[in-house]
Structure 1
Amino acid sequence: MRSENEPVGQKGRSFIEEARRAQIMASTIEVIAEVGFAQASLARIAQHAGISKGVISYHFAGKDELMEQVVEHTYGAIIEAVMAKMEGLTTATELLRTQITAVAEHMRGHRSQNRALGEILTNLRTADGELRYGMHTNEELYQALEGIYRLGQSTGEFRSFDLRVMAVTHQAAVDSMFAYWITHPDHDLEAHAKELADLIERACRA
């Protein structure tokens, strides 16, 4: 989900610039989580960060680019956390279950990020009015899940099925899990993830 606005060959940013960008993105997440996408103006984000709106404009071309970078940053953190949990695992069953439970474990400690991510994904649009994110930007996610399912079929752990259908169903179930958790804050996210892992494992098992 790399941003389309990221310049190719851009000169590396300084530590201070990276820290400022991180501060702005953190404030963006908190503001969106509190007031929603539509009300998250650059002025409100700047006020939350304790900076001028001009500082945001210096680091980001506009609200759209800022939102894209928040998505990139958030997904990057999720991937890093999940990959750390999956390191050293060898069976497709272990990888499958860990992919589901690890992302839930990570997001349980990042509720504001999850709420902000949902707001951006369902509201940010391109110049022609189409949603910026959606199934058309999930290809890397689908391919990664297909890799796990393909491994399971090759080792005999999983039965024969259409890899793409299973990957799309898997990702939709994970997305719905987080949407339900945001709507029902007292819902046990990790228990939900374990049940979902059980369900998908049984659906795939040879």
Structure 2
Amino acid sequence: MSKKNKPTNQKEMSFIEKARRTQIVECAIETIAEIGYAQASLGQISKRANISKGVISYHFANKEDLLDQIAIEYYMAWQSYIAPLIEAQKSPKEMLRVYIESNLTFIEENRKHVIAVIEVVSNKRTSDGKFRFASDHDETILLPIENILTLGMQEGIFRKFTRSSSRVMALTIRNAIDGFTLELMKKSHLDVQEYTRELVTLFDKSTKK
């Protein structure tokens, strides 16, 4: 093999490996969404992907590594989708509206991934028994809401919040969005637009100065 061809082949191999990893993660998501966290063995995932367990082991250290990737990729996709939409808004009121709307849209369009993440986050624990994603998940999810509330307060658009009450409001907004997730899992034909309008109206009134 010539030096001229080697970089090209390396790039092709990197692309193939990336595509294979993506396929494995997607099959893991579908498997967990269908049969749950406890039943989603590497055997079940490899069967769905039509590959051997050895191929999964080549790309992921173990099942835990693969399950971590499901949550990590979901958060990265969520952030990439939500952040630009919020940053494009000119007022905190619109930022809050878009935060709610875009979250519900993202959840609706990624139902299987959402179900898989809920399963992983609810079940995966560290060696000392603590939930694997609990603390990091709370802070990264709540901080954007708290920042919007703080900005709205500074600009005189939102009512005054203390540090504690800002956290309460952020939690309430996030829990309402997560509640939508659970409702959507139970009712596949849920009127998402009506649900979204009601949440936007509710939090517009509760944050208004």
| CA contact 1:104–1:190 (8 Å) conserved in 2 | no
Runs of 4+ in 1 over 4 A off after TM superposition: none
Q: Cα distance, 1:189 vs. partner?
A: 2.6
Q: Larger C-alpha radius of gyration, 1 or 2? A: 2
Tell me the residue number matched to 2:191: 188
Aligned pairs (5 A) from 1:112-123 = 112-123=112-123
Q: Does 2:129 align with 1:126?
A: no
Bigger helix fraction? 2
Q: How does 1:128-147 map to 2 (within 5 A)?
A: 128-135=128-135, 137-147=137-147
Q: Give the distance between the partners of 1:138 and 1:104, measured in 2 at CA.
A: 18
- Tell me the equivalent position of 1:32: 32
**Superposition map of 1:4-153 within 5 A:** 14-135=14-135, 137-153=137-153
Task: Report % sequence identity.
Answer: 37
Q: Secondary structure of 1:14's partner?
A: helix
Worse-matched range after superposition: 58-67 or 13-22: 13-22
Cα contact 2:159–2:208 (8 A) shared by 1: yes
SS in 1 for 2:178: helix
Contact 2:87 2:95 in 1 (8 A): no
Match of 2:179 in 1: 176
Whether contact under 8 Å (2:60, 2:66) holds in the other structure is yes
AA aligned opposite 1:66: L
Deviations 1:107-153 (A, max 9, x none): 21221111111111111111122221235531122221111001100
- Calculate the aligned-residue CA RMSD, in Å: 1.7
Whole-angstrom distance in 1 between the partners of 2:46 and 2:188:
28
Aligned residue in 2 for 1:199: 202
TM superposition shift of 1:101: 0.6
Question: Are the aligned partners of 1:146 and 1:164 in contact in 2 as well (CA < 8 Å)?
Answer: yes
Q: Which runs of 5+ in 2 are unaligned?
A: 1-10
Name the structure 2 match of 1:5.
none
Q: Distance in 2 between matches of 1:84 and 1:50?
A: 37
Number of the residue aligned with 1:164: 167
Counterpart residue type for residue 199 of structure 2 = L
User: How much has 1:38 moved relative to structure 2?
Assistant: 0.7
Three-state SS of the structure 1 residue aligned to 2:180 is: helix
Secondary structure at the counterpart of residue 128 of structure 1 = coil
CA distance in 2, matches of 1:139, 1:131: 14
1:56-85 CA deviation, whole Å, 9 max, x = no partner?
Answer: 111111111111111110111112111232
Equivalent pair of 1:105/1:190 in contact (CA under 8 Å): no
Amino acid at match of 1:203: S
